[in-house]
Structure 1
């Protein structure tokens, strides 16, 4: 299998109809990245605006409302955490080196366990800062709003304001709220508002608190390595099995990290109620097989390898995959490489993953 870098070295990109232009894409470009690539990324000779839907940021002003606790929650001992407080020149250089034209910024919820008014202040600051920053750099950045999701009535108002007045493109949410899953009817007004506005909700997991101190302790950072994908898997499964996606068929969901484990083992969900009917509610009659709901959910491409992309596309459809890096956390510093190296995708499908699907989903000009 030929990688993008091998294509660059051998000059065979033109023969395949795929072009990667600009020195900002070379390995080591982080050290000498240009402020902007001289030539754009293109597929089959056509310009593709690459859109990374999974990129993070923080604002000191929001964390300051929690004092020292706020800084710990925003910038814990994780590589790249300090870069979430965006220094524009540094961030643009990194994006250029990654061949990312636009980042859709989001803030992982750290306020769900705070009382309503304090959480609302944090969210207000963040959404105002996100709107201001993106308006000033609209060619390179868009953003998902934060929501005070522990107070659904307030979250509905925040989402309305974020979309209608602040120009944000949807909302970022966790995997649950204080261990209450999203299928709980208390959240229905929020999903109804997102469906009405036609904007996506980006599910980014926060781990499994009840497992964190015991089974996920030890070597390997299992709280994140296993816990985060599991959190997303549980969140999506509840939305499917409890009938939430039937209730809100127009709800647009983007699941981080390739949607966790569901995309790798979705067919097991189709057999669960047949094998163990006592574990299923006979009053909930789904309109489709559980695995079929994956074809209406979007998944980011942060699954690392061409084979993983191939498998995810086979399960959910290439049209449901969008580019994601998790920047500035260094999970995938070359987020486009495994898309171009995935020989099972057509040129049109690669263009979709790289940016065209996200542009349509988020109503972004390209």
Structure 2
């Protein structure tokens, strides 16, 4: 097996500033003529502070093609679909307009229903392309690996290869495998491997499948409600099933501000007292449920300064990182969002903009 350094070096040389042929990536030969305006840098205490976005997406056509008849449903029904297929100069220009220096890219899992061979090949293509992209522009891109979580033993192998060979900084996983929670012991080998490798698992939901019929109708509720709810359930299962006690060094990042967990966390501390018959007496948590929030990381995609203020008050600024969902335009001014939250100290802002992400993901600033 090639070493990580050799792989990244060879990839960068082979690319030579040309194109990623057939994988949905195009490196423009010339500078864009209509670049958006660059946001001025953030200066705090006389020092320029970088911004790292841990929640940004891309797609690769070669892996989508392996989905067969399901391929047409892979690109999300949103604005920004074509931008998932990265034109490097255009993506960087858009990042700079937001004030973002680096994106940690991920492919939102769409392959959990596929057979082992197909899922393995989809993830292989994604991880190779993500590594090559990171190697070409390491000043602007890092990436989370794709894993075939429906086959945990394979996912363990993929995670180790992604980190040791490809230099990826962790893995992006769903909120569950089609409703099967990652607190299920069959997935514990993947969690154990992430802890062993000291890398993060970025939880990005795919709605809450059990509620699909109730989400029908106006408002795109499968996303607006379903996505944050799915992340909330995923994180609560990790807490209440004792996963964070079993893997105390496990690093988990919850998309979309961790869903609803940060908004109503204290209710979790009362459930088993109010209704002990609805709790498992064999699970003896070492801490109050809300205390585990200090072991979880959250992105900042909560839209308003008041929402960010509350999240910081609940979990601490040490647990929050910028997240945008780019290129889907949920949050187009992520740096301004942080800077406009008046209750944050300068150190809070530095933490959220880049310090936390650099520490957790092993990125040198």
> What is the TM-score with the length of structure 2 in the denominator?
0.89
1:90 Cα shift? 1.4
Map 1:166-315 to 2 at 5 A.
166-212=166-212, 214-315=213-314
Per the alignment, residue 350 of structure 1 pairs with: 349
1:316 Cα shift? 0.4
User: Contact 1:322/1:352 (CA < 8 Å) preserved in 2?
Assistant: yes
* 1:103 equivalenced with 2:106 (yes/no): no
- CA deviations on 1:21-77 (whole Å, 9 max, x unpaired) are xxxxxxxxx96425x66x63222211211100000000001011123522421x132
1:178 Cα shift? 2.0
Per the alignment, residue 27 of structure 2 pairs with: none
Unmatched runs of 5 consecutive residues or more in structure 2: 1-32
Instruction: Tell me how far apart the structure 1 counterparts of residues 166 and 280 of structure 2 sit (CA, whole Å).
Output: 41
| CA RMSD in angstroms, aligned pairs only | 1.3
- CA deviations on 1:298-344 (whole Å, 9 max, x unpaired) are 00000011111110011101110000111000101011112101111
1:273 Cα shift? 0.2
User: Contact 1:323/1:335 (CA < 8 Å) preserved in 2?
Assistant: yes
User: Contact 1:336/1:354 (CA < 8 Å) preserved in 2?
Assistant: yes
Per the alignment, residue 92 of structure 2 pairs with: 92
Per the alignment, residue 328 of structure 1 pairs with: 327
User: Contact 2:67/2:111 (CA < 8 Å) preserved in 1?
Assistant: no
Instruction: Tell me how far apart the structure 1 counterparts of residues 119 and 227 of structure 2 sit (CA, whole Å).
Output: 23
The count of aligned residue pairs is 333
Instruction: Tell me how far apart the structure 2 counterparts of residues 40 and 337 of structure 1 sit (CA, whole Å).
Output: 11
Q: What SS class does the counterpart of residue 336 from structure 1 fall into?
A: helix
Q: What SS class does the counterpart of residue 206 from structure 2 fall into?
A: coil
Instruction: Tell me how far apart the structure 2 counterparts of residues 269 and 206 of structure 1 sit (CA, whole Å).
Output: 24
Q: What SS class does the counterpart of residue 278 from structure 1 fall into?
A: helix
Instruction: Tell me how far apart the structure 1 counterparts of residues 302 and 239 of structure 2 sit (CA, whole Å).
Output: 22
Instruction: Tell me how far apart the structure 2 counterparts of residues 299 and 187 of structure 1 sit (CA, whole Å).
Output: 22
* 1:63 equivalenced with 2:81 (yes/no): no
User: Contact 1:48/1:356 (CA < 8 Å) preserved in 2?
Assistant: no
- CA deviations on 1:191-247 (whole Å, 9 max, x unpaired) are 0000000000000011011211x2111111100000000000000010000001110
Q: What SS class does the counterpart of residue 285 from structure 2 fall into?
A: coil
- CA deviations on 1:101-139 (whole Å, 9 max, x unpaired) are 000000110000111111000000000000011100100
* 1:157 equivalenced with 2:157 (yes/no): yes
Deviates more, 1:58-67 or 1:128-137: 58-67
User: Contact 2:35/2:90 (CA < 8 Å) preserved in 1?
Assistant: no
Instruction: Check 1:32–1:123 CA distance in 2 against 1; reply closer, same or farther (3 A cut).
Output: closer
User: Contact 2:35/2:94 (CA < 8 Å) preserved in 1?
Assistant: no
Q: What SS class does the counterpart of residue 334 from structure 2 fall into?
A: coil
Instruction: Tell me how far apart the structure 2 counterparts of residues 96 and 83 of structure 1 sit (CA, whole Å).
Output: 15
Unmatched runs of 5 consecutive residues or more in structure 1: 1-29
Per the alignment, residue 51 of structure 1 pairs with: 52
User: Contact 1:56/1:327 (CA < 8 Å) preserved in 2?
Assistant: yes
* 1:33 equivalenced with 2:36 (yes/no): yes
